[in-house]
């Protein structure tokens, strides 16, 4: 049968992208090739299952590309530099990974000389925008397909369609969408659709099994210029260190949370997540910055970091403004080197001691609240008096004094 050419599908092995393989072939007339981007969170068994499923659905040679270093170097390190936490709780587990996945698939499709590129996003979430923007920027000459969105299909309809072509999907896959990556795992479905419903432990356990028998322990993370470079004294590349912390964190049931916030398309959204490495590293990094940066460095960094996270979340990673912010964040990390202790026990962690050769606390000649040697008592009294002048003048102008 004649086809319209090749369509490269951004593939994860999940329900939506599995559905797209036979559906694109049948409804759009393209020969489908899958491209899976490894952005962390997958095991060798996961890749094998995904490849076997693609082959079962008629894909001759499923492709897997390694995008972990790309995710860290392009975005995660800057989110760490900026201590980015959307809504104060969510470390943007998905945004950076989706952008890298979409970008690498688009670039691969252009290289392959494909006629079309596709993704499995729905019309209600954030991922559709992230894929659309990246693919429009990097592969503008290719036809872009999004079958689930275009046909307004439900997960049950996709499940039923796949059953007709010979692929049985487990019921839990239909009920929940679980996305694993380097910076954490997100879970959507059932309880997350109602803001008043508590997400039960069983849902988190679906994403990351824990071990209640684990004993408390102390971790030590070493940073160099803002990047994590060693765990308990063992030198590790950042990606490997993040993977190590995630493995440990899953076992201790760390990093679990629920985020409710604004979506790109204007509605409210709610997602459960498990992100132990991200939450531990951000907490440790923030404490180290408190020790070595001035208050105004942290003040302005916090402001631009929030904007950076918003732009990344909303699928706008290519705007030149983000390159400017990245330059500022990179500059801010010159002295962010040292060691941070983290105490972990089942279900909780806490940042403890922090040390650095660039400590501004050690540089001080005195102890807060106790001793001083850089100024006299009279200097302190004068400082307090001068500092009160603007408020005194304002009060006098209102007739309060």
Domains, the chain, in order of start with CATH, read 6-177 (3.40.50.620), 181-360 (3.90.1260.10), 369-397 (no CATH)
pLDDT at residue 377, rounded to an integer: 87
Mean pLDDT of 105-109: 97
CA–CA distance, 242 with 275 (Å, rounded to integer): 10
pLDDT, one tens digit per residue, over 72-85 is: 999 999 999 999 99
At 168 the three-state DSSP class reads coil
Q: How many CB atoms lie within 10 A of CB 210?
A: 19
- Work out the pLDDT band at 364, boundaries 50, 70, 90: low
pTM over 0.85: yes
pLDDT of 150 reads 96
The H-or-E segment that residue 228 falls in is strand 227-231
Burial of 229 (0-12, 13-18, 19+ CB in 10 A): middle
Q: What average pLDDT does the segment 56-72 reach?
A: 96
Is residue 67 within 8 A of residue 104, CB to CB? The reply is yes
What are the pLDDT digits (tens) for 278-288? 999 999 999 99
The predicted-structure confidence for 145-200, as pLDDT tens digits, reads as follows: 999 999 999 989 999 999 999 999 887 777 788 888 999 999 888 888 889 999 99
Question: Who's near 115: CB < 8 A, 6+ residues apart?
Answer: 4, 5, 6, 7, 30, 142, 143
pLDDT band for position 367 (50/70/90)? low
In the predicted model, what is the mean pLDDT of the chain?
Answer: 93
Banded pLDDT at 401 (limits 50, 70, 90): low
Q: Above 70 in pLDDT, residue 366?
A: no
Of 124, 133, 198, 184, residue with least CA distance to 155: 124
Higher pLDDT, 39 or 3: 39
What ranges in 65-219 are assigned the alpha helix state H? 68-71, 77-81, 95-112, 127-138, 147-150, 155-164, 171-175, 201-207
pLDDT value of residue 1? 45
Let me know the angle formed at the C-alpha of 205 by 202 and 209, rounded to the nearest 5 degrees. Answer: 150
Query: What are phi and psi for residue 96, nearest 5 degrees?
Result: -65, -40
Q: How many CA atoms lie within 13 A of 230 on its CB side?
A: 14
Q: How far is Cα 126 from Cα 11, in angstroms, rounded to an integer?
A: 17
Report the alpha-carbon distance of residue 258 to residue 90 in Å, rounded: 8
Say if residue 109's pLDDT is above 80: yes
184 touches 269 (CB < 8 A): no
Mean pLDDT score, 367-396: 84
220: tokens are 């030590």
Arithmetic mean of pLDDT, 289-317: 96
107-121, 171-185, 214-228, 338-352: which range is least confident on average? Answer: 171-185
C-alpha gyration radius of the chain: 25
- pLDDT for res 4: 82
Question: Do residues 64 and 38 lie in contact, with contact meaning Cβ atoms separated by under 8 Å?
Answer: yes
Question: Residue 113: is its pLDDT beyond 90?
Answer: yes
Pairwise CA distance, residues 266 & 252, whole Å:
36
Of 375 and 222, the one with more pLDDT: 222
């Amino acid at each position: 049968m004649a086809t319209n050419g090749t369509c490269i599908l951004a593939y994860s092995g999940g329900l939506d992208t599995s559905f797209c393989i036979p559906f694109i072939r049948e409804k759009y007339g393209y020969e489908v090739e899958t491209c899976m981007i490894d952005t962390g969170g997958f095991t060798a068994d996961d890749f094998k299952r995904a490849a076997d499923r693609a082959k079962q659905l008629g894909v001759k040679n499923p492709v897997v590309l390694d995008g972990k270093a790309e995710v860290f170097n392009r975005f995660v390190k800057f989110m760490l530099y900026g201590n980015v936490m959307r809504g104060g709780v969510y470390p943007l587990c998905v945004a950076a990974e989706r952008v890298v996945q979409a970008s690498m698939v688009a670039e691969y499709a252009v290289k392959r000389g494909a006629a079309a590129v596709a993704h499995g996003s729905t019309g209600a979430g954030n991922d559709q925008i992230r894929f659309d923007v990246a693919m429009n920027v990097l592969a503008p000459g290719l036809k872009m397909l999004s079958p689930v969105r275009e046909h307004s299909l439900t997960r049950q309809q996709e499940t039923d369609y796949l059953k007709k072509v010979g692929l049985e999907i487990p019921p839990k896959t239909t009920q929940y969408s679980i996305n694993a990556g380097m910076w954490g795992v997100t879970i959507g479905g059932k309880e997350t659709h109602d803001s008043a419903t508590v997400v039960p432990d069983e849902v988190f356990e679906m994403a990351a099994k824990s071990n209640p028998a684990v004993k408390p322990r102390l971790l030590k993370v070493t940073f160099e210029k803002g990047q994590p470079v060693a765990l308990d004294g063992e030198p590790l590349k950042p990606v490997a260190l993040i993977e190590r912390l995630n493995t440990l964190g899953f076992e201790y049931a760390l990093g679990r949370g629920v985020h409710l916030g604004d979506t790109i398309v204007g509605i409210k959204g709610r997602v459960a997540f498990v992100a132990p490495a991200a939450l531990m590293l951000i907490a440790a990094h923030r404490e180290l910055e408190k020790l070595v940066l001035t208050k105004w460095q942290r003040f302005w960094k916090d402001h631009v970091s929030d904007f950076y996270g918003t732009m990344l979340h909303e699928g706008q990673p290519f705007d030149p403004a983000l390159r400017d912010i990245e330059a500022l964040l990179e500059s801010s990390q010159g002295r962010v080197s040292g060691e941070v202790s983290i105490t972990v026990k089942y279900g909780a962690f806490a940042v403890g001691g922090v040390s650095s050769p660039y400590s501004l606390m050690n540089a001080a000649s005195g102890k807060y609240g106790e001793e001083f040697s850089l100024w006299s008592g009279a200097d302190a009294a004068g400082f307090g008096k001068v500092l009160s002048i603007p408020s005194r003048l304002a009060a006098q102008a209102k007739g309060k004094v």
